[in-house]
């Protein structure tokens, strides 16, 4: 029996070729409450299993084409203005977004471009109680040239936008690669964080003793901030029994 002081979810892409139905059934049996990174086509399946969608997707263009480049602002505005009411109508709150790659855009200019692209969406997001969540990703291993690759840059963007309807998706795996000091960052920046992702470092695999992060301590630190939202498991299991690996990860993160 899980304590569920922190709620638990999982990203489907990590467990392919399992179907969403299979993953939902397994998650439900473990005692999890949600499935991450799902869009409108997936929500009926989640509802069939009484599982929540804690981080919705489907409005973004891609991880590399985001709000830091003005050439995408018109399309992003159209896609997010269509998706925000849909997320709300289905009873969800968080909608993912991305900075995009630098492509020669300085960090200062990229930040200003993100402000210009996201700000027009915030009134609609507020009306529908939706939080736009920009994911922090590493640019060293997995996502070369991605702009929102440090917590301080993401927090600075949040400060410029100055809205409860914009926060960060703090990916522990990605930020360990880029900057480390995970617990100190969580304590310092928790008001700007709406959701967390996990994975083992190095390798993005199981969050067990094979890697360098102390996940029980990290989860205790997250809980100590007053956060009661979701911890999204986003590791790629090496184990033959993927569901056993997921169960072990959830139990490790249950405080």
Domain range holding 91? 7-253
Percentage of residues in the chain having pLDDT higher than 90: 98
User: Is residue 207 assigned to a domain?
Assistant: yes
**Interatomic CA distance for residues 182 and 235, integer angstroms:** 17
pLDDT of residue 39: 98
User: Is residue 231 assigned to a domain?
Assistant: yes
Q: Count CA within 13 A, CB hemisphere, residue 54.
A: 24
Range 41-65 average pLDDT: 98
Token look-up 């018109």 returns 74
Least confident of 122-126, 180-184, 207-211: 207-211
pLDDT above 80 for 252: yes
pLDDT above 90 for 2: no
**Interatomic CA distance for residues 118 and 3, integer angstroms:** 37
Residue 41, Cβ neighbours under 10 Å: how many? 9
pLDDT of residue 17: 96
| Tally of domains in the chain | 1
134-180 pLDDT, tens digit per residue, is 999 999 999 999 999 999 999 999 999 999 999 999 999 999 999 99
Percentage of residues in the chain having pLDDT higher than 70: 100
pLDDT above 80 for 1: no
pLDDT above 90 for 97: yes
pLDDT of residue 239: 94
User: Is residue 120 assigned to a domain?
Assistant: yes
Q: At what angle are helices 151-161 and 107-118 packed, to 10 degrees?
A: 40
Range 189-200 average pLDDT: 98
Range 73-86 average pLDDT: 98
Cβ(59)–Cβ(97) below 8 Å:
yes
pLDDT of residue 189: 98
Report pTM.
0.97
User: Is residue 182 assigned to a domain?
Assistant: yes
Confidence band, pLDDT 50/70/90 cuts, at residue 4: confident
Range 76-98 average pLDDT: 98
User: Is residue 159 assigned to a domain?
Assistant: yes
Q: Which CATH number is 79's domain given? A: 3.20.20.150
Token look-up 């139990």 returns 251
User: Is residue 142 assigned to a domain?
Assistant: yes
User: Is residue 1 assigned to a domain?
Assistant: no
User: Is residue 121 assigned to a domain?
Assistant: yes
Alpha-carbon distances, residue 210 vs 10, 17, 127, 201, 207 (angstroms): 20, 24, 45, 9, 7
212-246 pLDDT, tens digit per residue, is 999 999 999 999 999 999 999 999 999 999 999 99
Alpha-carbon distances, residue 122 vs 127, 141, 153 (angstroms): 9, 32, 19
Cβ(34)–Cβ(24) below 8 Å:
no
């Amino acid at each position: 029996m899980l304590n569920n002081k922190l709620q638990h979810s999982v990203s489907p892409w990590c467990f392919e070729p399992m179907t969403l139905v299979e993953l939902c059934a397994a998650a439900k049996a473990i005692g999890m409450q949600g499935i991450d990174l799902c869009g409108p086509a997936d929500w009926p399946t989640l509802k069939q299993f009484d599982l929540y969608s804690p981080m919705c997707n489907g409005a973004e263009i891609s991880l590399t084409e985001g709000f830091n480049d003005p050439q995408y602002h018109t399309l992003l505005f159209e896609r997010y203005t269509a998706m925000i009411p849909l997320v709300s109508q289905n009873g969800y709150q968080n909608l993912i977004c991305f900075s995009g790659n630098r492509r020669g855009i300085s960090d200062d200019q990229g930040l200003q471009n993100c402000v210009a692209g996201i700000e027009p969406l915030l009134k609609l997001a507020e009306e529908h109680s939706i939080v736009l969540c920009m994911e922090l990703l590493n640019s060293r291993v997995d996502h070369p040239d991605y702009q929102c690759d440090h917590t301080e840059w993401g927090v600075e963007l949040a400060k410029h936008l100055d809205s409860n309807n914009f926060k960060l998706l703090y990916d522990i795996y990605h930020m360990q690669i880029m900057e480390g000091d995970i617990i100190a960052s969580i304590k310092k920046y928790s008001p700007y964080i709406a959701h967390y992702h996990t994975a083992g470092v190095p390798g993005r695999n199981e969050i067990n003793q094979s890697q360098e992060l102390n996940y029980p301590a990290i989860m205790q630190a997250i809980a100590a901030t007053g956060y009661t939202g979701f911890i999204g498991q986003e590791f790629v299991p090496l184990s033959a029994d993927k569901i056993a690996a997921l169960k072990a990860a959830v139990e490790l993160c249950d405080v």
